[in-house]
Amino acid sequence: MDHYLKMVGGPTESADQDHIFLLKSNGSVVTRDNADKGFFSTAQQSLSRPGGSGDSIVVPEKLLETRLMKDVKDITQIMFQIAVTTGVLIALF
């Protein structure tokens, strides 16, 4: 799977590399954390050799960092809007 990720430039800094999974074309999901030992060897084989027609490697984002950045962006926008409103009110009076 690392080979395929390197071909597309690799995961970004905000990628959650511990939770990468393979979405098979039949709708099944293959992860590294499969607990069923019988399925685990099949899962490891699938993860090491993805590439069946329609299979997709999914690399999710780290949710905590993503959420934090959205909160910072929202707070910054609110502060900017308050500053603009205050400036307009001062200019009017």
Burial (0-12, 13-18, 19+ Cβ within 10 Å), 48: exposed
Give pLDDT tens digits for 3-15. Answer: 888 888 888 887 8
- Residue of 69, 73, 62, 72 whose CA lies nearest to 14: 62
Asked if 68 and 57 sit in the same domain, the reply is no
Its domain, for residue 89, covers 63-93
CA distance 69 to 91: 33
Indicate whether 54 and 92 sit together in one domain.
no
pTM of the model: 0.50
For the stretch 15-56, pLDDT in tens is: 888 888 888 888 888 887 763 444 434 545 555 555 567 888
Q: Are residues 50 and 73 in the same domain?
A: no
Predicted confidence (pLDDT) per residue in 53-85, tens digit: 788 888 888 877 677 888 999 999 999 999 999
pLDDT at 47: 52
The C-alpha torsion from 37 through 39 and 42 to 46, rounded to 10°, is -120
Domain total of the chain: 2
Pair (7, 23) in one structural domain: yes
